[in-house]
Chain A
Amino acid sequence: MFEAKTLMFIYVETPLHAGSGRGLGAVDLPIQRERVTHYPIIQSSGVKGKIRAEVRQRNGWRDDSAEVTALFGKAGEEGASAAGAIAPGDARVLLFPVRSLAGVFAWTTSLHALARFQRECALVGLNFPWLDGLSEPPEDPATALIGINSALKAGESVVLEEFSFRPQPNEAVARIGEWIAQHALPPEYTYWQQELPRKLIILPEDYFRDFITHGTEVQTHVRLDPDKKTVQTGALWTTESLPVDTLLYAPLMATRSRVDGTKWSAGDVLNVLRETLHGQRVQFGGDETTGQGWTTVTLAGGGQ
């Protein structure tokens, strides 16, 4: 039984490759995705592993210390193993950036993505501003919702990559943008906080799915022969990653510590995470040595 819950936002600042191994498709090294919706994710085991490494390192705790065991559990002989007090969920996509003819790029989302997000918010006791007017998708399949003062309008349309949409201004969009900017973006992000309500767009589900499926970053890599400066045989590969300005969120759930000797309540457990991670820069996923996967982590809400 989980006694305390919070939401962890992960704002992507350099391309993030949470890899799923070798792919059989067009990209050699694809990213992790949900089976059914094909939304990009970071699997919960990856999220937990990263949290563990960060908490351990930032607090200077040993891997077998009582604190780490209490938070993350321990595998061992029968009778000596214990479950951890923290259970993260998969990190899912809320906002996905797509290039725009006006305003350089847009943060896109869909009603489906927002509805799932709202469900998680309710779970952790966050009040996400959802308006009735938004719950019905517009009838015209190419209509997208934008804020009243949107920066995305080029003439009478919004053009994302080479696709054009009929924009429909809606008050709720800017309000949602402001809410996300306030809760999920670190305070020093003044520029990005101001831009988010102006560049947020709610796309029809099919288009959003197309963008998150085909609009990720695909980088081509080669390895050069140091003598000839030509590509070595077989050394050309492509890597997929989540682009800069993607916003992910993952629920964090906690129980009281199950290990004898530590008297942490579920609230204490989340407090440890909040103090260690809130507002910090954390690196997720692969290719760390080429500067990939840097994010800012923000914890919001803490329903009991």
Chain B
Amino acid sequence: MPNLLDIPIPLQSAQTFRDHKGITNPGLIFDRFAPDWSGQATLKKDGLEVVRSAAEKADSALLQGWNARWEAVVRAANAEPFSLKTDWRFIAGLGRKGSLEVGFTFHRYGFPILPGSSVKGIARAWALIEIGQQVNPASLKKLDEILSADGDRDSAERRQYEAWKAQQPKVVQGLADDFRGIFGTTAAAGRAVFFDAIPARVPKLELDVMNPHFPQYYRGEAPPTDWQSPVPVYFLTVAPGVSFWFAVGWRGALDAGQQLRDRAKTWLVAGLTELGAGAKTSAGYGYFVPPPQLAQPAAVTSPSVQTAQMVQPAPTISSATPTPVPGAPSMPSEEPVWRTGTVREYQPGPGRGRLMDDETGDELRFDREAITEKGWSPGKKHKVHYAVVHREGQTLVVEVRRA
């Protein structure tokens, strides 16, 4: 905990902050109770650490109430909620202005969220890429301009769009019209509604660091020389394996067969799994994966396989459309139960192990796919948190993480 005088806010508030132990809003601490680190850069990390540990105590009853309300809202907007997990760490809002140098998007309730406008942008970006694969445009920006043509039916801009469309194969014509219907133009609002993505249970936050070795060079002051001191920059991330709820709704009556809405959802899932969300996606942050499919646990979607599939231009829509749509699990039944246990045995080779529940003493099997932290081999007697679901009379371990 930083020194009282290091927090530049009214003294009475700082005192209460120091003395009160049950603070459950990490977002408030992050925005308002950050230490002044101008004299001592290490305080930045301490400040973030306070936020991170407060996130562990976040109000789960509130999250549950919020989840229920969120579901009611999205269903009122003709949406089927679905969940995806963070594959590795995820950062939303890194570029926001914050007193700890790097930003982070907290909801007012103190939980990380991905705003609806970002969700929509991701789906739209993927849709552009998918159409681009068919028409090989000079640039995606050019294609974006063509597809977003405004104006009345006989305006010059619309005529240009119609002329472009007439030259395209049938498949592209269909996709282009879908694109305009789903995302809209500045002249007509889109029909699809992209909701904020919210965490399904209290998410774990983790500290991360970037460490530019040539700070003077990046500031344009000196060549990149070895005698410059690296300056570590700490930032907050959402841990891997955290489930988020997503929803794509529809304005007005649903189209026949809900094809358009489902296409919007497919584009969104592809965008989240292939392009990623938030900051630092080119360093592997921000990618989502579908929760393990219980029927075929081995077929957990591996991003690399899909990426390979996406690189080749695909001849038809059906194969260009990626398949990781996780169905539409209804919220309560899909929600796993979390318990704590002790590992009895784990064989990294075949990737199989056994664990014992701390309360009931039941022994359960688990395999590598269930382990959240990639590359971690739990040893004998390791304490773990694990998630189970009941299916067809069997208890399956779907997630294992360090306790």
A162–B120 contact, CB under 8 A?
Answer: no
Of A97, A155, A220, which is within 8 A of B20 by CB? A155
B59 at the interface (CB under 8 A from A): yes
A-side contacts of B249, CB under 8 Å:
291
Q: How far is the CA of A93 from the CA of B144 in the complex (A)?
A: 41
**Min CB gap A140→B, angstroms:** 13
Of B22, B23, B110, B193, which is within 8 A of A289 by CB? B193
A99-B69 contact in complex given A159-B17, A226-B128, C-beta closer than 8 Å? no
A-side contacts of B193, CB under 8 Å:
288-291
A263 at the interface (CB under 8 A from B): no
Q: How far is the CA of A290 from the CA of B70 in the complex (A)?
A: 14
A162–B32 contact, CB under 8 A?
Answer: yes
Of A220, A227, A245, A294, which is within 8 A of B141 by CB? A227
A289–B120 contact, CB under 8 A?
Answer: yes
A-B contact pairs, 14 of them (CB 8 A): A13-B69, A14-B116, A99-B27, A101-B28, A104-B59, A105-B25, A191-B62, A192-B65, A225-B141, A226-B129, A243-B108, A290-B116, A290-B195, A291-B196
Of A57, A105, A188, A225, which is within 8 A of B108 by CB? A105
Most buried by B among A14, A100, A101, A283: A101
A288–B13 contact, CB under 8 A?
Answer: no
Q: How far is the CA of A4 from the CA of B137 in the complex (A)?
A: 62
Sort A-B residue pairs by CB-CB distance and give the 7 closest, nearest first. A191-B65, A291-B195, A290-B116, A291-B116, A226-B140, A281-B76, A154-B20
A-side contacts of B144, CB under 8 Å:
226
A294-B20 contact in complex given A105-B108, A226-B128, C-beta closer than 8 Å? no
A226-B141 contact in complex given A101-B25, A164-B16, A244-B108, C-beta closer than 8 Å? yes
**Min CB gap B196→A, angstroms:** 6
A164–B12 contact, CB under 8 A?
Answer: yes
Interface members, chain A 158-175 (any B CB < 8 Å): 159, 161-164
In the complex, how many residue pairs between chain A and chain B have their CB atoms under 8 Å apart? 144
B-side contacts of A97, CB under 8 Å:
108
A-side contacts of B141, CB under 8 Å:
225-227
B-side contacts of A188, CB under 8 Å:
72
A157–B16 contact, CB under 8 A?
Answer: yes
A-side contacts of B189, CB under 8 Å:
288-289
Q: How large is the interface on A (under 10, 10 to 19, 20 to 34, 35 or more residues)?
A: 35 or more
Q: CB-CB contacts of B29-45 with A at 8 A, as 1s and 0s?
A: 00011000000000000
A163–B10 contact, CB under 8 A?
Answer: yes
B73 at the interface (CB under 8 A from A): yes
Interface members, chain A 259-283 (any B CB < 8 Å): 280-281, 283
Most buried by A among B69, B120, B140: B69
A100–B25 contact, CB under 8 A?
Answer: yes
Most buried by A among B28, B68, B77: B28
B9 at the interface (CB under 8 A from A): yes
B-side contacts of A13, CB under 8 Å:
69-70, 73
Interface members, chain A 38-86 (any B CB < 8 Å): 57
Interface members, chain B 167-193 (any A CB < 8 Å): 183-184, 189-193
A135 at the interface (CB under 8 A from B): no
B-side contacts of A287, CB under 8 Å:
116-117
B-side contacts of A288, CB under 8 Å:
189, 193, 251
**Min CB gap B191→A, angstroms:** 8
**Min CB gap A231→B, angstroms:** 9
Q: How far is the CA of A250 from the CA of B261 in the complex (A)?
A: 34
Closest chain B residue, CB of each to CB of A245: B108
Q: CB-CB contacts of B106-145 with A at 8 A, as 1s and 0s?
A: 0111100001110111000100110000000001110110
**Min CB gap B251→A, angstroms:** 7
Q: How far is the CA of A156 from the CA of B13 in the complex (A)?
A: 11
Q: How far is the CA of A188 from the CA of B73 in the complex (A)?
A: 13
Q: How far is the CA of A219 from the CA of B108 in the complex (A)?
A: 13
Given contacts A101-B17, A104-B59, A291-B77, 17 further A-B contacts (CB under 8 A): A14-B116, A57-B252, A99-B25, A104-B24, A104-B110, A155-B19, A155-B20, A164-B13, A192-B69, A220-B96, A227-B139, A244-B107, A280-B76, A281-B73, A289-B191, A290-B116, A290-B117
B-side contacts of A283, CB under 8 Å:
77
B-side contacts of A162, CB under 8 Å:
9-10, 13, 32-33
Q: How far is the CA of A227 from the CA of B140 in the complex (A)?
A: 6
Q: How far is the CA of A159 from the CA of B13 in the complex (A)?
A: 6
B-side contacts of A221, CB under 8 Å:
117
Interface members, chain A 215-249 (any B CB < 8 Å): 217, 219-221, 223-227, 243-245
A290–B120 contact, CB under 8 A?
Answer: yes
B73–A163 contact, CB under 8 A?
Answer: no
B194 at the interface (CB under 8 A from A): yes
B64 at the interface (CB under 8 A from A): yes
**Min CB gap B176→A, angstroms:** 15
B-side contacts of A280, CB under 8 Å:
76
B256 at the interface (CB under 8 A from A): no
A224–B121 contact, CB under 8 A?
Answer: yes
**Min CB gap B195→A, angstroms:** 4
**Min CB gap B348→A, angstroms:** 37
A102 at the interface (CB under 8 A from B): yes
Interface members, chain A 94-125 (any B CB < 8 Å): 97, 99-105
Of B27, B32, B69, B184, which is within 8 A of A189 by CB? B69
B13–A290 contact, CB under 8 A?
Answer: no
Q: How far is the CA of A226 from the CA of B109 in the complex (A)?
A: 33
Closest chain B residue, CB of each to CB of A186: B72
B61 at the interface (CB under 8 A from A): yes
A292 at the interface (CB under 8 A from B): yes
